[in-house]
Amino acid sequence: MIKAYAAFEPKGELKPFEYDPGELQANEVEIDVHHCGICHSDLSVIDSEWGEMPYPIVPGHEVAGKITRVGSHVSALTVGQSVGLGWHAGYCNNCASCDSGDNNLCGSAQSTIIGHHGGFADKVRADAASVVAIPDGIDLSLAGPLFCAGVTVFTPLLEFNIKAGDKVAVIGIGGLGHLALQFLNAWGCEVTAFTSSEAKKQEALALGAHHTLDSRNAAEIGGAGASFDLIISTVNVKLDWGLYLSTLKPRGRLHFVGAVLEPLDINVFSLISSQLSVSGSAVGSPSTIKKMLAFVEQHNIKPVVESFSFDDVNAAIARVRSGKTHYRVVLSR
Amino acid sequence: MIKAYAAFEPKGELKPFEYDPGELQANEVEIDVHHCGICHSDLSVIDSEWGEMPYPIVPGHEVAGKITRVGSHVSALTVGQSVGLGWHAGYCNNCASCDSGDNNLCGSAQSTIIGHHGGFADKVRADAASVVAIPDGIDLSLAGPLFCAGVTVFTPLLEFNIKAGDKVAVIGIGGLGHLALQFLNAWGCEVTAFTSSEAKKQEALALGAHHTLDSRNAAEIGGAGASFDLIISTVNVKLDWGLYLSTLKPRGRLHFVGAVLEPLDINVFSLISSQLSVSGSAVGSPSTIKKMLAFVEQHNIKPVVESFSFDDVNAAIARVRSGKTHYRVVLSR
């Protein structure tokens, strides 16, 4: 039996929940969960914010742990190895996206926490194709947030061919944004953080931003002119997107990794006149996760976390709900 | 004196208008206008649809003609040469965009018809950097529409690395779309046209589409599933963009070359979940125009035009306003 914490109703408190995972499938591994980050999307699923969810929900998709068992067809991972598991716990491995290594875009990808039990547990199982080895140089207690928050902001750098010297801005310096600033600084970019207070400004500079702009000051933002090659938005609230578009260079891109529920009211003229793109992406492929982990190890990038024990999972969730986390909450054994 | 036709007020009829272009500047050429296409954006400028325009307006930015004079610093073009002039009649040649060959994205680019007198005239002048030689294999009487309509739909193929075998759809089979279908077919793509009648369907197939979808049938469009790598929208009316986004493959792009005035109400979730892009572009650089002309010559692509004499300019404009053109109106001497 696997001992987990589950929500049994929308917005419900998590309670202990045991389940029998059945026989280990040939393609699966079982991971002993040492640490698991808490992501805003865990709350969205607990709360059925994106539609009615199949309760009980065992959240947790920023898993760092060690492999305890491997299925009979698994050759790439071994018992005892340090690994992580993110948003996806399996792929079809047979569609055009999977064929191209874009497994995260597989239409049949299995979410780790919807219709599958996640990492708020002593153990979790997943398709070996979705589990990635964590290099020795990365502290296991800090690795979890890389598997969702980290890869979510790392993916656009690879996908859109961001180069050293490019000017990149980040909206929202939280769980995702604080990693984006570190990645972009190490990537050699000129990094701007949109921040809303003097305290956050100093933190953003410490995390790797070279400049800050006051996100509550439209005149200051507009005054930036056509500055940025890329803006990564990590927030889930509606902003004046036209204003942010005006800060992009010709050929620039406003890229969403935060799921704003309100439609974007984008002016086509601004896209046409400066050849701009507006886009979105979620997490990343196993291949991208591997590249990110190697980059994190090389540049000694460290998620900044607040630790809670698994027993305090409800307090930890309340902390995430408060929006005051610096910058990611991680449950640890 | 240059003998032109000009609009003197919003939506006004064009009337004969003579102006003295002054001394030929060192960087300029003078073109004897043989043919000039009429673009919807000529009407937008005549009508002050994008804001109050500086009348008199001499429209015409799809010029095909022959060089009569070259300025003292012009070495790349010679008297008697067949050339074309499109939306831009000059660039700063000194900004980051110009430095990169993206002159069409120059913030100080000079429109051919706003604050400058265009091609509805016996002669027109322009910065030599904006004037492109027309290869011998292209019929001068058909070349004009390539310089705005043509390059507008050719640019995304280069910019977004469209390859043979890619699946591309076109919304709006008019002046731009009928060239897009021909380009895409010759490019080796699998081409779909969104059309609204059986007659238009047959025309689209004749122009190079391999498939058609009924743009008035939401069920048929939705049934296409995640099919397209790229959709190029040439229309200037609001459609159900969410429906069109649903027909894109993961990593697909909905690209606007038609200036829809109503904001796009784009759902961020759909962008994020399939890593989609929404973008826009206008015309193209001189370098892109040259590549397009070589491609047109190689593949014997021909704009389909209705000819009017310059004297019948108001009848020609009325024909464009009717929306029934097959597919581009060209004024000819």
Q: So what's the pLDDT on residue A307?
A: 98
Q: So what's the pLDDT on residue A259?
A: 85
Chain B residue nearest residue A237, CA to CA: B268
Is A130 found in the same domain as A8?
A: yes
Element at A54 (helix H, strand E): none
* Mean pLDDT confidence for B165-187: 97
pLDDT in tens, B111-151: 999 999 999 999 999 999 999 999 999 999 999 999 999 99
Please check the confidence at residue A193 and state whether its pLDDT lies above 90.
yes
Contact B260 A281 (CB under 8 A): no
Nearest-CB residue to A268 (from B259, B271, B272): B259
Contact A277 B277 (CB under 8 A): yes
Q: So what's the pLDDT on residue B322?
A: 95
Contact A268 B263 (CB under 8 A): yes
Is B141 found in the same domain as B13?
A: yes
pLDDT confidence of B197, banded at 50, 70, 90?
Answer: confident
Is B322 found in the same domain as B215?
A: no
Closest alpha carbon to B121 in B79, B77, B61: B61
Please check the confidence at residue B259 and state whether its pLDDT lies above 90.
no
* Mean pLDDT confidence for A94-98: 95
Is B201 found in the same domain as B269?
A: yes
**Bond from prior residue into A91 cis (ω within 30 degrees of 0):** no
Mean pLDDT score of chain B: 97
How far apart, in whole angstroms, are the C-alpha atoms of residue A96 and residue A103? 9
Chain A / chain B CB contacts < 8 angstroms: 113
Please check the confidence at residue B162 and state whether its pLDDT lies above 90.
yes
Nearest-CB residue to A250 (from B105, B250, B270): B105
Contact B226 A107 (CB under 8 A): yes
* Mean pLDDT confidence for B40-60: 96
* Mean pLDDT confidence for B288-294: 98
Contact B275 A282 (CB under 8 A): yes
- Chain B residues in contact with A258 by the CB 8 A cut-off are 268
HEC readout, chain B: CEEEEEECCCCCCEEEEEECCCCCCCCEEEEEEEEEEECHHHHHHHCCCCCCCCCCECCCCCEEEEEEEECCCCCCCCCCCEEEECCEEECCCCCHHHHCCCHHHCCCCEECCCCCCCCCECEEEEEHHHEEECCCCCCHHHHHHHHCHHHHHHHHHHHCCCCCCCEEEEECCCCCHHHHHHHHHHHCCEEEEEECCHHHHHHHHHHCCCEEEECCCHHHHHHCCCCEEEEEECCCCCCCHHHHHCCEEEEEEEEECCCCCCCEEECHHHHHHHCCEEEECCCCCHHHHHHHHHHHHHHCCCCCEEEEEHHHHHHHHHHHHHCCCCCEEEEEC
CATH number at residue A166: 3.40.50.720
How far apart, in whole angstroms, are the C-alpha atoms of residue A6 and residue B264? 39
pLDDT confidence of A91, banded at 50, 70, 90?
Answer: very high
- Chain B residues in contact with A270 by the CB 8 A cut-off are 280
A187 is in which domain, residue-wise? Answer: 150-280
C-alpha distance from A317 to closest chain B C-alpha (Å): 24
* Mean pLDDT confidence for B93-98: 95
- Chain A residues in contact with B276 by the CB 8 A cut-off are 279-280
Q: So what's the pLDDT on residue B261?
A: 84
Q: So what's the pLDDT on residue A96?
A: 94
Contact A275 B280 (CB under 8 A): yes
Alpha carbon of residue B259 to chain centroid: 12
Contact B271 A251 (CB under 8 A): no
Nearest-CB residue to A264 (from B259, B266, B276): B266
Chain A residue nearest residue B251, CA to CA: A105
Nearest-CB residue to B272 (from A256, A265, A269): A256
Is A155 found in the same domain as A268?
A: yes
For residues B142 and B302, the answer to whether their CB atoms sit within 8 Å is yes
Please check the confidence at residue B260 and state whether its pLDDT lies above 90.
no
Is A177 found in the same domain as A118?
A: no
pLDDT confidence of A179, banded at 50, 70, 90?
Answer: very high
Is A89 found in the same domain as A198?
A: no
Where do the H-state alpha helices sit in A91-148? 96-99, 140-143
The four Cα atoms B53, B58, B61, B67 give a dihedral, to 10 degrees, of: -140
pTM of the model: 0.96
Is B276 found in the same domain as B154?
A: yes
Chain A residue nearest residue B155, CA to CA: A275
* Mean pLDDT confidence for B149-177: 97
Q: So what's the pLDDT on residue A319?
A: 98
Q: So what's the pLDDT on residue A135?
A: 98
- Chain A residues in contact with B279 by the CB 8 A cut-off are 271, 275-278
pLDDT in tens, A104-143: 999 999 999 999 999 999 999 999 999 999 999 999 999 9
Amino acid at B40: H
Nearest-CB residue to A265 (from B107, B258, B263): B263
Contact B272 A282 (CB under 8 A): yes
How far apart, in whole angstroms, are the C-alpha atoms of residue A135 and residue A256? 29
**Structure tokens belonging to residue B211:** 């498939």
Is A270 found in the same domain as A158?
A: yes
* A41, A102, B28 from B85: Cα distances, Å: 53, 43, 12
Contact B279 A276 (CB under 8 A): yes
Residues 6+ apart with CB under 8 A from A48: A10
Residues 6+ apart with CB under 8 A from B52: none
C-alpha distance from A125 to closest chain B C-alpha (Å): 24
pLDDT in tens, A226-236: 999 999 999 98
Q: How many structural domains are present in chain A? A: 2
Closest alpha carbon to B61 in B182, B183, B175, B173: B175
Contact A96 B279 (CB under 8 A): no
Contact B264 A265 (CB under 8 A): yes
Is B125 found in the same domain as B16?
A: yes
C-alpha distance from A161 to closest chain B C-alpha (Å): 13
Give just the sign of the alpha carbon dihedral A171, A176, A178, A182.
negative
The domain boundary, picked from A263, A280, A297, lies at A280
Residues 6+ apart with CB under 8 A from A280: A255, A256, A257, B268, B269, B270, B271, B272, B273, B275, B276
C-alpha distance from A61 to closest chain B C-alpha (Å): 17
Is B157 found in the same domain as B130?
A: no
- Chain A residues in contact with B277 by the CB 8 A cut-off are 253, 277-279
* Mean pLDDT confidence for A39-68: 96
Q: So what's the pLDDT on residue A260?
A: 87
Q: So what's the pLDDT on residue B196?
A: 86
DSSP classification of residue A300: T
Chain B residue nearest residue A242, CA to CA: B263
Share of chain B above pLDDT 70, in %: 100
Mean pLDDT score of chain A: 97
Please check the confidence at residue B26 and state whether its pLDDT lies above 90.
yes
Is A319 found in the same domain as A256?
A: no
pLDDT confidence of A293, banded at 50, 70, 90?
Answer: very high
- For an interface test with A, give the residue of B266, B268, B273 to mutate (most A CBs within 10 A): B268
Closest alpha carbon to A34 in A247, A307, A283, A233: A307
CATH number at residue A95: 3.90.180.10
3-class secondary structure, A111: strand
**Chain B residues bordering chain A (beta-carbon distance below 8 Å):** 50, 96-97, 102, 105, 107, 159, 226, 249-251, 253, 256-261, 263-282
Report the half-sphere exposure of A323 (CA within 13 A, side-chain side). 4
| Crossing angle of the two packed helices A286-299 and A149-159, in degrees rounded to 10 | 100
* Mean pLDDT confidence for B37-63: 96
**Structure tokens belonging to residue A274:** 């400066």
For residues A57 and A45, the answer to whether their CB atoms sit within 8 Å is yes
End-to-end CA distance of chain B: 18
* Mean pLDDT confidence for B253-276: 94
Please check the confidence at residue A83 and state whether its pLDDT lies above 90.
yes
- For an interface test with B, give the residue of A108, A230, A271 to mutate (most B CBs within 10 A): A271
Q: So what's the pLDDT on residue B118?
A: 98
Q: How many residues does chain A have?
A: 333
Spell out a b/e string for A150-186, using b for 16 or more CB atoms within 10 Å of the CB, else e.
bbbbbbbbbbbebeeebbbbbbbbbbbbbbbbbbbbb
